[in-house]
Structure 1
Amino acid sequence: MTRRALYPAGGSRTTADQIKLSPGIISGNHVFVTGMTGSSPDGTMPKNLEKQFGQAFEKIGAVLREAGLDFGSIVEMTTYHVGLRDHFDRFCAVRSNYVYDPFPAWTAVEVAGLRREGAVVEIRVVAAIESN
């Protein structure tokens, strides 16, 4: 099976190369997007949670576009939250700007912490490539 790594245009490969990961990878008819936090392009983590959530989704969108897909291609989403109950409603409000019917399967998991200091969410998705 052929696999192809996805690196969004304009994105930096520095972190991906340092920790040996691909932001996304096509394998068969699926795109697997690595967990994304809501850091700003300069690497800082916004204190505003809605901004953090939106930036994480925008980074996912960039990987999907590199594969010729959009948010409607997402079939599965897993989100990892620090303080899930404290911000779940706000996360859902931002999420609703990106996913739509038919909605992807979704699992939200509360965790004690994330790798990026100040991050309160990490989002990973699997998208399907429809064959014609």
Structure 2
Amino acid sequence: MLTKAIRPPGIYPPIGPYAQAIEATGTARLLFISGTMGLAPDSSLPSGFEAQAHRVWTNIGATLAAAGMDFTNLAQLTIWLARRDDWRLGAEIRQQYLGDHQVAMSVVQAGLVHPDWLIEVDAIAVA
């Protein structure tokens, strides 16, 4: 599997560590990861945005591993934040897991289904 960041001429550059588009060639598998919250394996919810965000990425990592993939297989993310003020910390935490790997991505502030959930992420991975 090969992914390539597409940087279209004539539009604004990325405003963070992501790409406007990701082209995946030679893909044999697609993995669609449902909205993932910061719930622990026992369904408890850590307190605070930082703890929930780390748990989200741990959960996504476990989902990828179960499919024989890792964070470098991610191609697209949608990140849902309950509070707009958490976007910068959320980006810092995300990059701890993604490193230099770039994805196509959207970040949205929205009311999440449960009032205690502060972040939810869905993803598409390719292999």
TM-score by shorter chain over 0.5: yes
TM category, shorter: 0.7 to 0.9
Which residues of 2 match residues 33-112 of structure 1 at below 5 A? 33-84=33-84, 86-111=85-110
Per the normalisation by structure 2, the TM-score is 0.73
Percent of pairs identical after alignment? 27
Establish whether residue 32 from structure 1 lines up as the match of residue 23 from structure 2: no
Question: Partner letter of residue 115 of structure 2?
Answer: E
RMSD: 1.3
Runs of 4+ in 1 over 6 A off after TM superposition: none
Question: Partner letter of residue 82 of structure 2?
Answer: V
Could you list the runs of 5+ residues in structure 2 that have no partner in the other structure? Answer: 1-27
Relative contact order higher in (CA < 8 Å, ≥ 6 apart): 2
Structure 2 match to 1:126: 124
Q: Distance in 1 between matches of 2:44 and 2:101?
A: 34
Per the normalisation by structure 1, the TM-score is 0.70
- Is the 8 Å Cα contact of residues 72 and 100 (structure 1) preserved in structure 2? no
Q: Distance in 1 between matches of 2:36 and 2:114?
A: 10
Residue 29 of structure 1, CA deviation: 1.8
May I ask how many residue pairs the two structures share in their alignment?
A: 100
Question: Partner letter of residue 49 of structure 1?
Answer: F
Could you list the runs of 5+ residues in structure 1 that have no partner in the other structure? Answer: 1-27
Question: Partner letter of residue 114 of structure 1?
Answer: L
User: SS of 2:125's equivalent?
Assistant: strand
Q: Distance in 1 between matches of 2:76 and 2:101?
A: 11
Structure 1 match to 2:18: none
Question: Partner letter of residue 125 of structure 1?
Answer: A
Residue 124 of structure 1, CA deviation: 0.5
